[in-house]
């Protein structure tokens, strides 16, 4: 990917406003980076290595939330809101084959680049080998799916995440690109209609449930929770 003009074009195609175009995408060493001229941000999975170590992985809330009683092998998941793919990596490390959907072309390009580099890192390569990225809107993609996955995972953007004080400075760059899911209700409905065994939704701890659907149960952390909707087959 090239310099500012190309990024502007990507953003235009994506319906993004002009004021986001102070950003630039460029190659730095081997990595694709997003920069505003002061800070840079790339998709880098290396900081996740300690979290995917056996012994620690099973205590990750998302791994506990995505577990399916009585099934351990050949599990499949769809991450309908991939972002930088960190949650997907945890699921893939726990054995899920994961299809990641990301509709923002810039985030998808950064994620694709992060996955490419992670594939060469021994501690990450096995899990990354189970992750497939699709750059498209997950709502329509899920509606067209023939085989339902075991789990559909949703992490639409939190309102809280938009408060700059709460996130690391460089992730503020990413937030200039991230668009909240336009229709969270349609996302949950598409997930339901696809017929997975479980839908897992990441929420801020105190937020209302997504689309007002009461979860079967929730797994709570300090600031977030995972609402789990079990769908009998």
Q: Which is nearer to ligand SAM, 179 or 220 (CB)?
A: 179
Round to whole Å and give the CA distance between 80 and 99. Answer: 8
Q: Would you mind telling me the total number of residues written for the chain in this entry?
A: 233
- Contact criterion met (CB below 8 Å) for 205 and 225: yes
- Contact criterion met (CB below 8 Å) for 28 and 40: yes
Q: Which is nearer to ligand SAM, 72 or 168 (CB)?
A: 168
Residue whose C-alpha is closest to residue 166's, from 177, 156, 157, 153: 157
User: What is the closest distance, in whole angstroms, from the C-beta atom of residue 232 to ligand SAM in the complex?
Assistant: 26
User: What is the closest distance, in whole angstroms, from the C-beta atom of residue 67 to ligand SAM in the complex?
Assistant: 18
User: What is the closest distance, in whole angstroms, from the C-beta atom of residue 87 to ligand SAM in the complex?
Assistant: 4
User: What is the closest distance, in whole angstroms, from the C-beta atom of residue 208 to ligand SAM in the complex?
Assistant: 17
Q: Which is nearer to ligand SAM, 48 or 229 (CB)?
A: 48
Residue numbers at the binding site for ligand SAM (CB under 6 A): 80-81, 83-87, 101-104, 107, 137-139, 155-157, 178-179, 181, 187
64: part of which helix (H) or strand (E)? helix 61-66
CA 17 to chain centre: 23
Q: Which is nearer to ligand SAM, 14 or 73 (CB)?
A: 14
User: What is the closest distance, in whole angstroms, from the C-beta atom of residue 145 to ligand SAM in the complex?
Assistant: 13
Residue 227's φ and ψ, nearest 5 degrees, are -85, 125
- Contact criterion met (CB below 8 Å) for 194 and 231: no
Residue nearest to ligand SAM (CB): 83
Q: Which is nearer to ligand SAM, 178 or 227 (CB)?
A: 178
């Amino acid at each position: 990917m090239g310099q500012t003009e190309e990024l502007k074009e990507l953003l235009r195609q994506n319906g993004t406003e002009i004021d986001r175009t102070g950003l630039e995408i460029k190659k730095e060493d081997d990595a694709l980076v997003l920069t505003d001229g002061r800070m840079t941000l790339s998709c880098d999975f290396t900081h996740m290595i300690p979290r995917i170590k056996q012994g620690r992985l099973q205590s990750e809330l998302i791994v506990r939330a995505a577990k399916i009683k009585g099934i351990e092998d050949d599990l499949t998941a769809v991450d309908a809101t991939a972002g930088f793919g960190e949650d997907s990596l945890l699921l893939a490390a726990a054995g899920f084959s994961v299809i990641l959907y990301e509709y923002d072309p810039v985030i998808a390009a950064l994620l694709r680049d992060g996955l490419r580099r992670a594939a060469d890192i021994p501690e990450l390569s096995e899990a990354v080998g189970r992750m497939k990225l699709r750059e498209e809107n997950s709502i329509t993609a899920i509606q067209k799916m023939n085989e339902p996955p075991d789990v559909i995972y949703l992490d639409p953007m939190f309102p809280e995440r938009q408060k700059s004080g709460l996130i690391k400075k460089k992730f503020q760059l990413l937030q200039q690109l991230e668009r909240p899911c336009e229709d969270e209700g349609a996302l949950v409905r598409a997930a339901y209609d696809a017929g997975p065994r479980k839908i897992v939704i990441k929420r801020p701890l105190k937020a209302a449930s997504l689309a007002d659907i009461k979860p079967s149960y929730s797994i709570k952390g300090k600031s977030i929770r995972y609402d789990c909707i079990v769908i009998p087959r």
